[in-house]
Structure 1
Amino acid sequence: MDFGVSTFVTDEGIRPDVLGEALEERGFDSLFLAEHSHIPVSRKSPHPRYDSLPRWYYRTLDPFVALTAAAVNTSNLVLGTGIALLVQRDVIYTAKEVASLDVVSRGRVAFGVGVGWNREETENHGIDPRTRGERIDEQIEALKAIWTQEQAEYHGKHVDFDPIFAWPKPVQTPHPPIYVGGGSPAALRRLARHGDAWLPTQQTSADEIRRVRDWLAEHGRTAVPFSVFGDGSADADAIKRFAEAGVERYTFLLPTLPEAETLTALDDLARLAADHR
């Protein structure tokens, strides 16, 4: 099992270029960054874990800018979004951003996508939250067309464009792996139909991992990697349970801290990872 880190890179914590280099030096295989374009002041949508949002939610850097910085001083680190809020994004611009990062990093992008939990954030982008599931399915199909076709076009209910030229094309073939986030029935159907890997929620148990693995096999998907997000507790027993369930990657949740404190925390996590790698 590989070990990565997921975190929120902000203007108040460790710089992404320093973080990327520190992760690779300590043997971590990946960095997954969260995305929020903004946080609505209304705060009507409940977070699945926090009654009061931590400060870092309000201050996240753009994940593609941060991951590009992390790419500069690394050579093997997987650069992931965990997750990109695809329904809030223009699909053509997103195709270019992901492909550009894949070119700059020489093929190290893992594109994690999901519908998100903050309905007001979605609404502020002019998107009806009730359409999120249909919209993201079309967006994924459109992204694949843009990345793999010289003249791409897509005609759906929510995404619609005539033939276009769009470069660069990604380094990875046929395209960067799409990691589908979420554990709802709709998300799992999306994973079976469109996904290359699964990003379960932090509440997912090892038993649920086994059930989803069996369910995917019934749908003809027998080689889908699972990349589990830890809950921040760095629980050795939980890591062991996920390893026994066949999880390919365990991703530690790293709190957003200044550089010195972050490096100390990474040293501790690296020792724990070494015991289970």
Structure 2
Amino acid sequence: MVQVGMLLSDVPRSVPPDQQFQDVLRIVGEAEQNGFSHIAIGQHFLYGDLRWMQPVPWLARLAAHVSPGTKLVTQVMIGPLYHPVLLAEEIATLDVVTEGRLVFGVGLGYRAEEFDHLGVPYEERAARLDEILELLPRLWTEDEVTHHGRHFRLDGVRPHIRPVQQPHPPIWIGAFAKAGARRAGRYATGYAVPPELPPPAVAERYELVRTGMAERGLPFGPQPLRRNVLVADSAEAAVAEYARVAKGRYVTYAQRGLDVFDAGKLEREFAEAVQGHVVLGTPDQVVAQLTDLVTTLPVDPLLVRPQWPTMDADETVAAIRRLGRDVLPSILPLPSHSNIPLLDAR
């Protein structure tokens, strides 16, 4: 059966941090009551007018709040900004604290200023991430690690924190580019598809992941798929509401270096610019679109974003309840598949 998860959002800095914390506890509780099985949070540093709570302490606290069956996901951490030992110990500790419910999602990062702030060369991020991904499983499983690489050197270090999950937590790599899908095939257990990729591009990248996993002797299973979803009483109302809550963030993402969209087109023709990847409409229309995704692509879990920084906690709770009432009862019973011919989804 397909599982459905929820991505937590950043919020305006005008929201007091303690209120944000209480709001998140409420939102997560509503998500669990409405059928969501994964809680995911991303990562940014020095994010201007918005606040991202850092995922490791945030998820550690949520582990004590959610039910034992709920998975906690870093979606995604910016891997190249870390030393591999620091990242290995943070994630191993988080897996212990979450009692083996952690999914470790990691990616390259796209905001050059974050790398500048932390003194890491932006142009080295791909090579750094590859080296980190080579080292993490060793630091989680080996008694002694020696590594002389381009960016990191370890001489006979003896890791002292083992994750609860064996051999280690699932690793999801999030990326837009085909190079990221190839990286997932080489190093990961899953490829977390960004919400902005349309289904034909998703299928193309899944095929790259499948090929890479086959070369490692690993089976290709259902993959996490992110979608931005909004349900309303009519298709027109859904488009209008999505523009209200999300348009500003899309424009900001484009201006800050996420080169998936043209900021000018987003300003002029927002509905057309997001068409093809956003799931909008009436309950029946949203169910039909999501059903098509999970029956033509090997999806599990489906990760949806019901919250944007422009929405307060009450609006977010209302969106979660509507998904739980009108959409999830039709999606959760669907079987997940790993043997779907991907060319059929193009």
Q: TM > 0.5 between the two?
A: yes
DSSP 3-state at the match of 1:83: strand
Cα 1:61–1:172, aligned 2, differ >3 Å: closer, same or farther?
A: same
Q: Which amino acid aligns with 2:223?
A: F
CA distance in 1, matches of 2:125, 2:115: 9
CA distance in 1, matches of 2:221, 2:126: 21
Q: Does residue 34 of the first structure (1) align with residue 34 of the second (2)? A: no
Within 1, Cα distance between the matches of 2:51 and 2:312? 14
Q: What is aligned with 1:46?
A: none
Work out which of the residue numbers 164, 172, 185 in structure 2 matches 1:171.
164
Query: Which residue pairs with 1:50 in the alignment?
Result: none
2:292 to 230, 238, 241: 241
Provide closer, same or farther for how the CA distance between residues 185 and 208 of structure 1 changes in structure 2, counting only shifts above 3 A: closer
Provide structure 1 residue ranges, at least 5 long, that are not aligned to the other structure: 42-54
Distance in 1, Cα, partners of 2:148 & 2:222: 30
Alpha-carbon distance change, 218 to 103 in structure 1, aligned in 2, over 3 angstroms? closer
TM-score after normalising by structure 2: 0.70
- Among all aligned residue pairs of Structure 1 and Structure 2, give the percentage whose two residues are the same amino acid: 23
Residue 229 of structure 1: aligned partner: 226
Deviation at 1:9, TM superposition (A): 5.1
Contact preservation (8 Å) 1:229, 1:250? yes
Greater shift in the superposed pair: 205-214 or 12-21: 12-21
Question: 66, 76, 95: which is aligned to 1:83?
Answer: 76
- Equivalent of 2:208, from 204, 215, 236? 215
Deviations 1:53-97 (A, max 9, x none): xx5xx3111111111111102211111111101111232122111
Once the two structures are overlaid, the 10-residue window that deviates more, 248-257 or 122-131, is: 248-257
Question: CA separation in 1, counterparts of 2:154 and 2:30?
Answer: 42
Question: Contact between 1:146 and 1:153, CA under 8 Å: does it hold in 2?
Answer: no
> Does 2:26 align with 1:13?
no
Q: Is the 8 A contact 1:24 1:76 kept in 2?
A: no
> Could you say if the C-alpha distance between residues 199 and 83 of structure 1 is closer, same or farther in structure 2, counting changes exceeding 3 Å?
same
Deviations 1:197-217 (A, max 9, x none): 011121222222333333333
Distance 1:273-1:127 versus aligned 2 partners, 3 A rule:
same
Q: Deviations over 1:223-253 (max 9, x none)?
A: 2432111124353143122112221121111
Q: Distance in 2 between matches of 1:19 and 1:153?
A: 44
Q: 1:164 to 1:20 in 2, by over 3 A?
A: farther
Give 1:2's aligned residue: 3
Aligned alpha-carbon RMSD (Å): 2.0
TM-score, normalization by structure 1 = 0.86
Give the equivalent residue in structure 2 for 1:128. 121
Change (3 A) 1:191 1:171: same
1:157 Cα deviation (Å)?
0.5
Distance 1:13-1:264 versus aligned 2 partners, 3 A rule: farther
Contact 2:43–2:55 (CA under 8 A) maintained in structure 1: yes
2:219 and 2:203 map into 1 onto residues whose CA distance is 12
Residue 201 of structure 2 aligns to a residue in which SS? helix
**Tell me, which stretches of 5 or more residues in structure 2 are unaligned?**
12-16, 232-278, 280-285, 333-346
Aligned match of 2:58: 66
Is the alpha carbon distance of 1:216 and 1:85 closer, same or farther for their aligned partners in structure 2, counting shifts above 3 Å? closer
Matched, 1:180 2:232: no
The corresponding residue for 1:95 is: 88
**TM superposition shift of 1:21:** 3.2
Q: How many pairs were matched up?
A: 261
Structure with max Cα Rg: 2
How far apart, CA to CA, are the structure 2 residues paired with 1:149 and 1:26? 41
1:276 is aligned to: 331
Q: Report how far residue 106 of structure 1 moved.
A: 1.0
- 1:189 Cα deviation (Å)? 1.6
